[in-house]
């Protein structure tokens, strides 16, 4: 309900009630101004664009802090990444009111980010801002988010570098002996670096040839239930990993020099050192690895092995422990063989069958 009444002092008082029944009022010298304000506020209520006056002063920085408190139930690594993104967001928007952040400002901000960060990082930070402002809309702090397809910087999708088998074995040879199992787990089982560092001896069934990831470094649950999918491995890999375990005597597959559990950072340091040691060798078919080659690129090699073997996308998805086939196709779709020729041959066979039937048709 809304109304306008003249006060004893000659001013006009406009009043309305929000959806919760709370009354809001404002005074004006002229009735036409009171009516204009009242029409504006009631229109916002009807269209869902209304925000409580007490919430309109909330800044982006204040809301980020509140949002982060609720986000703290996620995994430590996920929360740590969110905090890193928020530091960047606050540098530009901390003191701005939520309602004052316009799409044009978001677009200009992402353009500035691209001057400093890689496209993938820029997109990740932008998505964090979109997530935070989207939750502000859900909480009734904003009528609508300024982030949309028009403001998005676009998600970079560079094709992953796929090492050759010769390069992978050259890396293996260049790794310290106690960390060599990590190369095997990444290249031939597709484990991520945090999974490889935390893989325990009890997580591997050496007799059946099955690796069952259960935790990731540092003794945290895996990122999803899909990541727990058992990975079948050949006897050759199981035997080589078993030999490494016997030599180290540790409780984990990958260890430090004294047989204690290692860390992802130790593995990545070894990767950088080994990467630089791998030199071109025409006889062995080894090419120099790119400077940005990292442990996760061994996982791309694992995917390439599966695809080259002719496995379909659902099998590849399962072996990589992706949540959906979409993720697999978005990352490795270009590796799957071109089916145009097969499609043409299938249709041509139908035409050939028709031609054969006409030739043998009784006259």
Interhelix angle for 119-138 vs 103-116, to 10°? 150
Residue 353 domain-assigned? no
Q: Quick one: 37 and 65 in the same domain?
A: no
277 is written with which tokens? 């040691």
357 has a pLDDT exceeding 80: no
- Segment 236-278, tens digit of pLDDT: 999 999 999 999 999 999 999 999 999 999 999 999 999 999 8
* pLDDT for res 34: 87
Residue 175 domain-assigned? yes
- Give the residue numbers spanning the domain of 72: 60-138
Q: Give the count of beta carbons closer than 10 Å to the beta carbon of residue 339.
A: 9
Q: Quick one: 101 and 245 in the same domain?
A: no
Residue 274 domain-assigned? yes
| Number of structural domains the chain divides into | 3
**Closest residue by Cα to residue 203 from 281, 269, 261:** 261
CATH number at residue 276: 1.10.443.10
338 has a pLDDT exceeding 70: no
Residue where a domain terminates, one of 94, 121, 138: 138
* pLDDT for res 327: 84
In this prediction, residues 53-82 reach a mean pLDDT of 88
105 is written with which tokens? 């400002």
In this prediction, residues 51-76 reach a mean pLDDT of 86
* pLDDT for res 154: 78
- Segment 276-333, tens digit of pLDDT: 998 888 888 888 999 889 999 999 999 999 998 888 899 999 999 998 888 888 888 7
**Nearest 5°: phi and psi at 325?**
-70, -25
The answer to whether the beta carbons of residues 216 and 194 sit under 8 Å apart is yes
Name the band, by pLDDT with cuts 50, 70 and 90, for residue 362: low
Q: Quick one: 223 and 298 in the same domain?
A: yes
Q: Give the count of beta carbons closer than 10 Å to the beta carbon of residue 219.
A: 9
Higher-confidence residue: 342 or 236? 236
Q: Quick one: 66 and 200 in the same domain?
A: no
* pLDDT for res 339: 62
In this prediction, residues 128-149 reach a mean pLDDT of 91
Q: Quick one: 195 and 310 in the same domain?
A: yes
Q: Quick one: 204 and 305 in the same domain?
A: yes
What is the pTM for the complete model shown? Answer: 0.67
Q: Quick one: 271 and 232 in the same domain?
A: yes
Q: Quick one: 81 and 214 in the same domain?
A: no
Q: Could you tell me how many residues make up the chain?
A: 363
* pLDDT for res 102: 94
CATH number at residue 109: 1.10.150.130
DSSP notation for 147-201: -STTT------PPPP---HHHHHHHHHHS-GGGHHHHHHHHHH---HHHHHH-BG
DSSP notation for 292-311: T--THHHHHHHHHHHHHTT-
CA atoms within 13 A on the CB side of 58: 21
Name the band, by pLDDT with cuts 50, 70 and 90, for residue 106: very high
170 is written with which tokens? 């050259």
Q: Quick one: 104 and 128 in the same domain?
A: yes
End-to-end CA distance of the chain: 89
**Nearest 5°: phi and psi at 316?**
-60, -40
Higher-confidence residue: 335 or 182? 182
Residue 149 domain-assigned? no
In this prediction, residues 159-182 reach a mean pLDDT of 92
Q: Quick one: 179 and 304 in the same domain?
A: yes
**Nearest 5°: phi and psi at 266?**
-65, -40
The answer to whether the beta carbons of residues 249 and 130 sit under 8 Å apart is no
Averaging pLDDT over each range in 78-82, 189-193, 355-359, which range is the top one?
189-193
Residue 360 domain-assigned? no
The answer to whether the beta carbons of residues 181 and 259 sit under 8 Å apart is no
Residue 345 domain-assigned? no
**Nearest 5°: phi and psi at 155?**
-90, 120
Residue 143 domain-assigned? no
Higher-confidence residue: 349 or 277? 277
In this prediction, residues 227-242 reach a mean pLDDT of 94
Residue 281 domain-assigned? yes
Q: Quick one: 27 and 126 in the same domain?
A: no
Across the chain, how many H-helices and E-strands are there? 14, 8
Name the band, by pLDDT with cuts 50, 70 and 90, for residue 200: very high
Q: Quick one: 86 and 214 in the same domain?
A: no
């Amino acid at each position: 309900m809304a109304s306008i009444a003249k006060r004893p002092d000659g001013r006009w008082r406009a009043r309305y009630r929000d959806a919760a029944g709370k009354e809001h009022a404002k005074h004006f010298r002229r009735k036409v101004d009171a009516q204009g304000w009242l029409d504006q506020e009631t229109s916002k209520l009807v269209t869902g664009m209304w925000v409580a006056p007490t919430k309109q002063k909330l800044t982006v920085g204040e809301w980020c802090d509140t949002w982060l408190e609720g986000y703290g139930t996620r995994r430590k690594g996920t929360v740590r990444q969110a905090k890193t993104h928020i530091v960047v967001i606050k540098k530009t928007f901390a003191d701005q009111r939520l309602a004052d952040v316009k799409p044009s400002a978001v677009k200009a901000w992402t353009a500035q980010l691209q001057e400093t960060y890689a496209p993938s990082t820029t997109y990740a930070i932008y998505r964090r801002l979109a997530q935070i402002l989207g939750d502000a809309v859900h909480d009734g702090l904003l009528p609508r988010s300024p982030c949309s397809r028009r403001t998005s910087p676009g998600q970079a999708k560079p094709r992953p570098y796929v090492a050759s088998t010769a390069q992978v074995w050259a890396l293996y040879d260049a790794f310290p002996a106690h960390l060599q199992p990590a190369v095997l787990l990444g290249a031939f089982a597709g484990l991520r670096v945090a999974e490889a560092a935390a893989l325990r001896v009890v997580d591997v069934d050496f007799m059946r040839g099955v690796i069952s990831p259960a935790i990731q470094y540092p003794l945290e649950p895996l990122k999803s239930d899909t990541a727990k999918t058992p990975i079948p491995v050949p006897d050759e890999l199981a035997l080589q990993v078993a030999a490494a375990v016997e030599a180290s005597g540790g409780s984990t597959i990958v260890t430090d020099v004294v047989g204690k559990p290692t860390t992802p950072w130790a593995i990545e340091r070894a990767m950088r050192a080994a990467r630089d040691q791998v030199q071109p060798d025409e006889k062995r078919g080894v090419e120099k690895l790119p400077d940005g080659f990292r442990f996760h690129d061994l996982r791309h090699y694992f995917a390439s092995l599966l695809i080259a073997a002719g496995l379909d996308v659902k099998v590849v998805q399962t072996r990589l422990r992706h949540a959906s086939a979409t993720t697999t196709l978005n990352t490795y779709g270009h590796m799957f063989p071109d089916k145009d020729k097969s499609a043409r041959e299938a249709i041509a066979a139908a035409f050939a069958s028709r031609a054969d039937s006409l030739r043998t048709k009784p006259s």
